[in-house]
Amino acid sequence: MSLKDKNIVLGVCGSIAAYKIASLIRLLIKEGASVQVIMTREATQFITPLTLSTLSKNPVLVDYYDPKTGEWNNHVHLGLHADLMLVAPLSANTLGKFANGLCDNLLSAVYLSAKCPVYVAPAMDLDMWIHPSTTRNIALLESYGNKIIPPGKGELASGLNGEGRLAEPEDIISYLQTDLASNLPLQGKKALITAGPTYEAIDPVRFIGNHSSGKMGYAIANQLLRLGAEVTLVSGPTSLQANSSIRTIRIQSAQQMYDACAQEFAISDIIVMSAAVADYTVQNPADQKIKKKAEDFSIALKKTVDILGTLGQQKTSKQTLVGFALETNNELEHAQDKLKRKNADFIVLNSMQDKGAGFGTDTNKVTILSRDGKTINYALKTKDEVALDISNLIIEHQKSL
């Protein structure tokens, strides 16, 4: 599993082994990860924040706030937006805090706020490592779902020889990659996502389009990538940039979107059609810019290809197909009809009547209808959170196939 584009919070505790963290950060950066270092005050006595800041290319955080500027280091934000948290070296002191919910510094506050996988690499002297209280605290951390990167054996700072050395940076990287790959629920799955609007040309200058920003589709693509899927994103015109690990196919028109999807559909396990595709396109687009002459002007339109409906008829029993419906009236009735007609497994319903939902916003309020007759109403959430809700339903559906 690649660490490329992973947001990693790296906690550093007070230990002589902290000198190895310079090499660890260099390896993480080489893998393409973004690293935010948080140090305990004791850790700054073993290696300077300046060193780790220079290597990570991010300011190192130590306290809840900067006493010079008063700027608050938001532990909740740090914990919620990390793809994984790694604490190395983990001292016996911080181990005890984590195990027992003590929170007297920024690192322990971020740990308690983290919703991502947490990995710890202990480092301490042999007698400390084998002490019953340490064994108990390690067991508690594991019971919380945290992963322990085993310490190595060898000569210790005290002069003793035995277990307790911080795992080597190369071994830590290898452990992360192997464990992440084995635990991702969509590992080995291929996902096809559509996002954004389509533009239907009137002439070389003008087009018929809509207000879709593509934010919802891009959020879903990113979420499925984090869950292990190999993602192909077919995107209409938008200013958004996808994660570099996502294969992105940029298109303009509904026909181009259909052609791209038709190429990928058969090999995809998961298909999410979140793009706002034009229902009609211009019958005969002009080769030259149309001049403003006549008082009245009309354009002949024809229906575009029904991408969701066409692909729905080709769907196999091993695929999960998700469609979107944006409605202004009789929302549930129209969404239920679309679910059946398009042969989808889920329809994500957006209502233009809901404040904070719809085009261009960073939030969304959806109702999800499933083939088995269930209807789930969700509160207003960020689009990243909505993407996670949709992804969780996809995971459960894939498990049932």
Choosing from 7, 73, 74, 210, the catalytic residue is 210
3-state percent breakdown (helix, strand, coil) of the chain, nearest 5: 35, 25, 40
- Is 116 exposed, middle or buried (CB count within 10 Å of its CB: 0-12, 13-18, 19+)? middle
Q: Which two tokens stand for residue 157?
A: 């700072």
How far is residue 293 from each of residues 41, 296, 300, measured CA to CA in Å?
74, 9, 18
How far is residue 312 from each of residues 9, 112, 262, 371, measured CA to CA in Å?
41, 44, 11, 13
Query: Can you say whether residue 260 is alpha, beta or left, with left for phi > 0 and alpha for psi between -120 and 50 degrees?
Result: alpha
Decide if 210 is catalytic.
Answer: yes
β-strand partners of 119 = 86, 147
- Please, what sign has the CA dihedral across residues 63, 69, 75, 80? negative
Hey, what's the torsion of the CAs at 118, 121, 124, 129, to 10 degrees? 80
Q: What is the DSSP letter of 356?
A: T
DSSP structure string for 184-244: -TTTT-EEEEEESB--EESSSS-EE-----SHHHHHHHHHHHHTT-EEEEEE-S-S----T
Q: Report yes or no: 231 and 225 within 8 Å, Cβ to Cβ.
A: yes
Which secondary structure element, helix H or strand E, spans residue 142, and what is its range? Answer: helix 132-143
CA-CA distance, 308 to 343, in Å (whole number)? 9
Task: Point out the residues that are catalytic.
Answer: 210
